């Protein structure tokens, strides 16, 4: 009932559309009897989920590396197919909050270093085997130790994973982390049967089984007979075609060959809406960065960094980089959709007088060299040039060196003092801050090293009291914004588009396509 009231409140506030409200109600199992009388049911009838049908998806972000090995995913298509075939212990809810999936409940001991997860009973894999603690332990261990897993970094914090009984596991961490459940919602952390290694023939507890997958081309999936959720898994079949070319993707949608696409061209949004397509805009955490190493000259001078920050035209960049689909950044990596986003922090705007003032105070007169590459997002060069121009007006001389995309991540990133980069969103603020701003973190691109910051972050992680955590995290954001080495002009929103025949793709504050769960959530309208 509490969940229902929350949904109702969000609907009343205009946060949710009718359709999202209805699918939300369906998801928590609250029926028509529970107060849907407040709206006209007739108007909603067509939008109600129904079983059956085939969904054809045209997706960007596929490549020959799309296997069904959860450790291997780096892009949309792989992880989206994964969410169709597998389930997780913990699901990332629509507002980036952890909600139960294969784990029914969890509990932390004070200090948040020792966690117990109770597993759901009676869930079957697609081969009929019951899901239990051995599977969970094996699946989590895939990401620990010597592994190519994309989540290996964060999983270093995991000290031990133990089976307690058939339906209980215990996770011990090196140090307290109240956000462990959120960490388990990372798209790599999927539940597979104990000992499974044959990734060409994946076995999961998800809504679909693989019919055929061709890496970089696409895949077809049929409904699994053993799927356990109610209110999810409507479709009989899903056909995915990898369409990496943006225009080709749009053409496929317009010519009716696919029913939904991701990564829609922002320029086409107005036309698509006029043509009765549903465009879903999700405020994600993707943000481009120009990183300055705070221990390299002249960026070790905090006035010089401030001069840079004040000379950046964020509004203009949001428009030119993302056609305005997103929000301006404030030089810290937490997006406005995050529950711990610091709403008190004043938004920094371009102020060339202030920039010139700080430049003068810093005493820096030399040119600085920025290394930019398309590897760090298609918008990188555009962003670099925009900063070069406005910084020039404030008296800061910036040279741009265009680096080839091929070896950018191995040869330039983390080595250059002034480079373009980007981050995809992380499910929690603590995860984002730990991965790129904690002293000693392998991807700390700005070399930000601040004892007070690290202490605040560690305290926030170990703190189970939400209000206290918030004050710590707000202070972290303030410190980064005022003293940190990252220039963050804007956050980009994700755009997914579908024909009006497709329902169930709702706004998610994580990634696009309903945070990758489109296969189990979407339905074809009757």
Q: Least distance to another protein from the beta carbon of 13, Å?
A: 37
Shortest separation between residue 407's beta carbon and another protein, angstroms: 3
Contact 219, 212 (CB under 8 A): yes
Alpha helices in 28-156 (DSSP H): 41-45, 76-85, 133-141, 152-155
H helix runs in 372-487, sequence order:
380-393, 429-437, 451-462, 466-483
Distance (Å, rounded) from C-alpha 330 to C-alpha 91?
29
- Report the nearest approach of another protein to the CB of residue 425 (Å): 14
Shortest Å, Cβ 325 to another protein: 23
> What is the token pair recorded at 151?
């989540």
Select 74 or 162, whichever has its Cβ closest to another protein: 74
CB of 243 to another protein, least distance (A): 5
Q: To which H or E segment does residue 362 belong?
A: helix 352-362
Looking at beta carbons only, is 38 or 255 nearer to another protein?
A: 255
Q: Which is nearer to another protein, 210 or 252 (CB)?
A: 252
Q: How far apart are CA 55 and CA 293, in angstroms?
A: 47
- The residue (of 254 and 479) whose beta carbon lies closer to another protein is 254
Cβ of residue 203: shortest distance to another protein, in angstroms? 17
State the nearest-atom distance from the C-beta of 241 to another protein, in Å.
5
Q: Which is nearer to another protein, 151 or 473 (CB)?
A: 151
Question: For another protein, which is the closer residue by CB, 162 or 247?
Answer: 247
CB 419 to another protein: min, Å: 12
Report the run of H or E that residue 289 belongs to, with start and end.
strand 287-292
Question: DSSP assignment, residue 385?
Answer: H
3-state secondary structure (DSSP) of residue 369: strand
Phi, psi for residue 138 in degrees, rounded to 5: -60, -45
- Tell me whether residue 133 or residue 151 sits nearer to another protein (CB atom): 151
Q: Which residues contact 269 (CB under 8 A, 6 or more apart)?
A: 279, 323, 325, 495
Q: Which residues bind another protein (CB under 8 A)?
A: 58, 63-67, 69, 72, 74, 146-153, 199-200, 212, 214-218, 220, 241-245, 247-248, 251-252, 254-258, 404, 406-407, 409-411, 413, 421, 442-443
CB 68 within 8 A of CB 210: yes
Q: How far apart are the first and last CA of the chain?
A: 28
Closer to another protein by CB, 63 or 365: give it. 63
């Amino acid at each position: 009932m509490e969940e229902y009231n929350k949904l109702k409140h969000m609907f009343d506030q205009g946060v949710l559309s009718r359709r999202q409200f209805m699918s939300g109600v369906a998801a928590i199992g609250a029926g028509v009897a529970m107060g849907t009388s407040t709206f006209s049911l007739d108007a909603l009838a067509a939008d109600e989920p129904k079983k059956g049908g085939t969904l054809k998806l045209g997706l960007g972000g596929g490549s020959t590396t799309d296997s069904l090995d959860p450790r291997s995913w780096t892009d949309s298509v792989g992880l989206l197919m994964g969410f169709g075939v597998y389930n997780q212990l913990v699901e990332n809810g629509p507002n980036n909050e952890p909600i139960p999936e294969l784990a029914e409940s969890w509990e932390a001991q004070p200090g948040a270093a020792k966690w117990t997860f109770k597993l759901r009973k009676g869930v079957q894999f697609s081969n009929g085997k019951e899901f239990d603690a051995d599977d969970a332990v094996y699946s989590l261990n895939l990401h620990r130790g010597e592994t190519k897993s994309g989540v290996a970094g964060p999983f270093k914090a995991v000290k031990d994973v133990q089976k307690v009984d058939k339906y209980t596991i215990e996770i011990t961490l090196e140090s307290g982390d109240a956000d462990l459940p959120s960490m388990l919602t990372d798209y790599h952390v999927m539940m597979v049967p104990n000992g499974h290694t044959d990734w060409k023939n994946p076995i999961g507890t998800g809504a679909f089984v693989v019919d055929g997958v061709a890496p970089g081309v696409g895949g077809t999936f049929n409904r699994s007979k053993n799927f356990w959720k109610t209110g999810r898994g409507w479709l009989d079949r899903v056909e995915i075609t990898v369409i990496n070319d943006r225009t080709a993707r749009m053409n496929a949608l317009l010519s009716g060959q696919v029913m939904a696409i991701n990564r829609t061209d922002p320029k086409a949004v107005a036309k698509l809406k006029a043509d009765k397509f549903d465009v879903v805009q999700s405020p994600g955490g993707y943000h481009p960065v120009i990183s300055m190493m705070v221990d390299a000259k002249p960026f070790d001078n905090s006035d010089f960094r401030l001069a840079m920050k004040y000379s950046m035209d964020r509004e203009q960049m949001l428009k030119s980089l993302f056609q305005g689909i997103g929000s301006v950044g404030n030089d810290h990596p937490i997006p406005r959709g995050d529950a711990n986003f610091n709403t008190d922090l004043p938004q920094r705007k371009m102020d060339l007088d202030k920039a010139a003032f700080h430049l003068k105070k810093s005493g820096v007169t030399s040119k600085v060299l920025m290394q930019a590459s398309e590897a760090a997002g298609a918008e990188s060069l555009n962003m670099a040039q925009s900063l070069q121009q406005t910084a020039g007006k404030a008296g800061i001389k910036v040279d741009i060196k265009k680096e080839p995309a091929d070896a950018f991540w191995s040869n330039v990133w983390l080595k250059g003092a002034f480079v373009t980069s980007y981050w995809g969103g992380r499910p929690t603020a603590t995860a984002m801050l730990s991965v790129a701003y904690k002293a000693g973190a392998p991807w700390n691109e700005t070399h930000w090293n601040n004892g007070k910051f690290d202490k605040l972050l560690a305290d926030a992680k170990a703190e189970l009291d939400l209000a206290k955590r918030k004050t710590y995290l707000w202070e972290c954001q303030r410190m980064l914004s005022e003293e940190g080495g990252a220039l963050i002009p804007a956050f980009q929103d994700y755009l997914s588009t579908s024909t009006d025949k497709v329902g169930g793709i709702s706004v998610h504050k994580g990634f696009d396509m309903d945070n990758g769960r489109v296969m189990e959530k979407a339905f074809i309208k009757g």
